[in-house]
Amino acid sequence: MTNLISKKIILVIISAIIIYSIFLFISDGKIIYEKFQSFDLKFIPIILIMIVFGWGILFVRWNLLLKNQSIIIPTRQNFLIYLAGFALAISPLKSGELIKAELLKNKFEISRTKTVPIIVMERFYDILGTVFVAVILGSFFLSISFLPIILGVAALTVAIFVVIYVKSVFNFFTSKLLRFKFLERFKEPLNNSQDVFRMSSSRKLIFISTTLTIIWRLVEGIGIYFVLLGFGIDVIEYLEIISIYSTSVILGAVSMLPAGIGVTEGSFGGLLSLLEIEISFALALAIVIRLFTLWFGVAVGFISLKLSKSL
């Protein structure tokens, strides 16, 4: 299993390198070189601080969902396990984060029946909060042509909630999902997890978890805004950049590609180009931002995964 995961991760990384290389190849090298030369390095610490602070907010949400199932873990080990999930964030809808369930099972004998649905609910709240940000801010800052896409994802989010909450619908879709071989090991947890799904989607938890997701996006947006400032771009408003990035993340999620690679960067660069930023530089800028928002987390995740195994 470990070897299979390693091969898939290597394949995703190689694919990302190829896609990023294509983006840079079709871009104006002179413009990109000049812009990168002018990047103000003093912004890097605050960019990283905002990204890590955002992780802290997500960890609070994770801990809240665990406590809702009466799962109490020492904070240090819990945080390492949470960060370890980032190592496999480069998977469709971050499904690779199910490795957290494996770590909790191996270290604390916590049943996957409790933890797998919590990880699924994390993704649900990721989508719900991001859609909320995209819809509210997008209605002010983006072209009306993008709203059908965002509203379509919002409708999909509601459908996912119905699947989770209505037992007959849940059982139907679970039986279909379990036909995939890679999910066979989660057959028992999924079959017995509907009660956990329902407990993790109470009105109180929906409100708190979605609010924390929105705050995360706003904090992450500060980091992205400082990336733009580092390149001397100060013509895009803070809320505008959050709207653009959230919409791009949604489009990447809809694509079902690992981490939305290519789609997220391409749509983000395309939206930036609508704001009179040279398209070649916009694509390169999208790659730089993803280095902070995605690949930095993946690197930290691998380190945390190694550390969590040694505890």
Q: Is the pLDDT of residue 262 over 80?
A: yes
Does the pLDDT of residue 5 top 60, yes or no?
A: no
The least confident of 9-13, 77-81, 268-272 is 9-13
pLDDT at 27: 65
pLDDT band at 1 (very low <50, low <70, confident <90, very high): very low
Q: What mean pLDDT value characterizes the chain?
A: 82
Average pLDDT of the residues in 219-230: 95
Three-class SS state of 278: coil
Query: Domain limits of the chain?
Result: 35-310
pLDDT at residue 103 above 60?
Answer: yes
CA distance 206 to 128: 9
For residue 4, the model assigns a pLDDT of 44
Calculated CA dihedral for residues 109, 112, 118, 123, nearest 10 degrees: 130
For the chain, count helices (H), then strands (E). 15, 0
Instruction: Give the pLDDT confidence score for residue 183 in this predicted structure.
Output: 59
Global pTM reads 0.84
Q: What element of type H or E holds 133?
A: helix 112-141
The tens digit of pLDDT for each residue in 29-80 reads 666 777 777 788 999 999 999 999 999 999 999 999 999 989 999 999 999 9
**93 against 227, higher pLDDT:** 227
| More confident site: 148 or 143 | 148
Query: What burial class does residue 39 get, using C-beta atoms within 10 Å of its C-beta: 0-12 exposed, 13-18 middle, 19+ buried?
Result: middle
